Amino acid sequence: MTTDPIPTCPAPELFDRLAASRATAEERGAVLDHAAGCDACHAALTVLLATLPTAPRERS
């Protein structure tokens, strides 16, 4: 049993918000966590981030 915060694929509108950099850090983290274990979302997220003029990045 996993502890995936999003057992099902996130809503397309959430990806839209990520693309517009309007998602909260919590939402972005949840999507990234889900995408880490979901090939479909991982691929979608990769394409999404690649098309962003300024891809959101984690600050260190």
Contact residues toward Zn ion (CB under 5 A) are 9, 38, 41
Q: Provide the minimum distance between the beta carbon of 1 and Zn ion in the complex, in angstroms, as a whole number.
A: 18
Specify the residue for token string 């300024």: 54
Q: Provide the minimum distance between the beta carbon of 8 and Zn ion in the complex, in angstroms, as a whole number.
A: 7
CB of 3 or CB of 60, closer to Zn ion: 3
Query: What CA–CA distance (Å, rounded) separates 44 from 59?
Result: 23
DSSP symbols for 8-34? SPPPHHHHHHHHTT-S-HHHHHHHHHH
CB of 14 or CB of 38, closer to Zn ion: 38
